[in-house]
Structure 1
């Protein structure tokens, strides 16, 4: 299915006006691939994170860098045990400005690899309807590019905030199930544009080749932009569900939940072809989502992180429970637009669990469906003010 006319406009860069100096935009693509050598299945991600592009269009400015250039006068102040007025608050005042390509893999030995570029290195190629970011291409139906960070790179530039490694990709994709914007308020916008997407192509991660097959890619695409990313941040999504009742794959089912928006979540669910959208913000609706994320003991398996969600919409109740082994999760870092060395740290992994769908009948609940969930994106994050002074 081709991109709908309604969502086609979101394929183009949207930061405008004041958001170019004080805002972010994030494009995310997630999919599964198999090792060509061992057959191992892994969950990959490719992201484009644009932050304050109008502040420093010719130079990628990373606020996590410990200091700006130190002048001779600054050295004299340091030797005297004081700081110059000009540089006393450099660590707090620097605001990020760049385009970041972030790519990697979830699961055991998961990693993220970052490539920072100046915003002037991002251009729209009109005749091809694609964005070129350095050697990376982001199109409405294709992705290509590469990222690479060596151990020496990381020693010299710890502000890269990523793992050592290399990854390149040549991919095509198609949205099979789309969603309308789920959160559209002043200062923030989120749309899970490809609730269920099919990816195909190939990836090389640290020299090993992986194959992406459409029917098993379990792809997902979303976009968000605004004044700053959510904190706390909560996200769950999957398009691989199998009914426990019938034993059959639920091919026309998928879901995505995200927040927190003023402490609440928004959700877009397609279950057996039925749509259940919950935005939580209409004063005339009684829809609600209760959610939690906690660490639990898993016995001999160590520790797990448990995401729980209960959705109440009309006469329907939908309960979701997902789990990730803590040893198969890692933290991804995103600089916040306001600077001050403030990071959004997102703990993420590839989860499994269950979903139950009930119908309210009087004071009782009738179970309509009970299914296993696989290949789920499970994330929770909060901001950390690295540069905060006590």
Structure 2
């Protein structure tokens, strides 16, 4: 059963080969409300570690022309914070490895100055001027200022099973690993965006928390998740439900597994999982992600011997951003990685051919991109 907490998977995984070419990040996304107007706005916060053995007193940027020419790999802590919707932005601040403190044990923690993250709390600040954002394209960042102080309470996990278990983590067998310790997470606290105060309340935060790590990224890259769900059959909001879909083209060593997704739906306390690595469930997946002039559209169909899940989500491009990362090898191949938190759509859930529910989904975290 996938709803199994395992915070050892949230430990920093940058050891062995991944210390020389590897990344590890902790992602948190949630919804807040303007303290004055009550207007809803989704936010995200991420702590991204890269190539510790290559680091020093200052961050090393892979996108600097001279570093590209010399094939110097990046090395740093990047703190990424941003928002979706009107004025969507991502702001990056970077730190050298000698500046930061990383607890490699359980629970994990990362600290530099007043910036901090662990299982149950995060606080910090990112700020970058328009002048510096323009002057330093290697930062891959927009301009602005965001600060936060949040409590984190993870309610439902998506434990993908043995594929991210202790043995496979030790062997560093996959190119990109995934664990969602809090695919349903409640956040509480405050966040400030360019001087505007936003309140984050547990019951309306519709939060999510996961981590990825490995040697490289995946292409295509697909992610969908929401816990703001309303049953069309029951005619009410589902308070103990969440779904999570992720993957694309996982690689085990040199072998690529084309067009594979992992997904789970925790439906009012009942688990429905579609996990290709659990071969005995005979999971089959078809998905299509497309881009129009105004929107990104996802269609995912998954089946096991007994269950079926059909997911249709749309997010308006005006509410999204092209999220920026460079890989540990110094390459930036994801240049159209669409990322949003305002997706809407439906999920249809079936058991033995019978419709269990048709669910309206809002505040959907969503991502799609391919190398270009």
TM-score (norm 2): 0.89
User: Does 1:357 pair with 2:349?
Assistant: yes
Match of 1:239 among 218, 224, 227: 227
Find out whether 1:216 has 2:216 as its counterpart: no
Segments of structure 1 that go 5 or more residues without pairing to the other structure are 69-89, 297-301, 385-390
Q: Secondary structure at the match of 1:67?
A: helix
Deviation at 1:58, TM superposition (A): 2.6
Segments of 5+ residues of structure 2 without an aligned counterpart are 251-256
Paired residues of 1:32 and 1:44 also in contact (CA < 8 A): yes
Which residue, 151, 154, 162 being the options, matches 1:175?
A: 154
1:376 matched to 2:364? The reply is yes
Counterpart pick for 2:325 among 324, 329, 334: 334
- Show the counterpart of 2:99: 121
* Contact 2:14 2:51 (C-alpha < 8 Å) held by counterparts: no
Distance 2:90 2:134 in 1: 16
1:130 and 1:336, CA in 2 relative to 1: closer, same or farther beyond 3 A? closer
Residue 249 of structure 1 aligns to a residue whose secondary structure is strand
CA distance, structure 1, for counterparts of residue 15 and residue 335 of structure 2 = 23
The offset of 1:127, in angstroms, is 11
Are residues 1:252 and 2:244 paired? no
- The corresponding residue for 1:165 is 144
- Report deviation, 1:92: 6.3
- The RMSD of aligned alpha carbons is 2.1
For 1:91 and 1:353, how far apart are their aligned partners in 2?
45
Larger Rg: 1
Question: Residue 290 and residue 65 in structure 1: after superposition, are their counterparts in 2 closer, same or farther (change >3 A)?
Answer: same
Distance 1:127 1:282 in 2: 27
Q: Does 1:107 align with 2:85?
A: yes
CA 127–366 in structure 1, closer or farther in 2 if over 3 Å, else same: closer
Question: Residue in 1 aligned with 2:22?
Answer: 23
Look up the SS of the partner of 2:9 in the other structure. Answer: helix
How many angstroms does 1:342 deviate by?
Answer: 4.1
Aligned counterpart, 2:117: 138
Distance 1:371 1:342, change over 3 A: closer
Structure 2 residue 126 is matched with structure 1 residue 147: yes
Stretch deviating more after TM superposition (287-296 or 252-261): 287-296
Partners in 1 of 2:123 and 2:85 — Cα distance? 23
* Partner Cα distance (1:316, 1:343) in 2: 34
Count of paired positions: 351
TM, length-normalised to structure 1: 0.85
Secondary structure (helix, strand or coil) at the match of 2:54 reads coil
Note if contact 1:32-1:43 (Cα within 8 Å) is conserved in structure 2. yes
Give 1:222 shift: 0.3
Instruction: Decide whether the 8 Å contact of 2:325 with 2:332 is kept in 1.
Output: no
Residue equivalent to 2:267:
271
Shift of 1:341: 4.7
Of the candidates 98, 117, 135, which is equivalent to residue 156 of structure 1?
A: 135
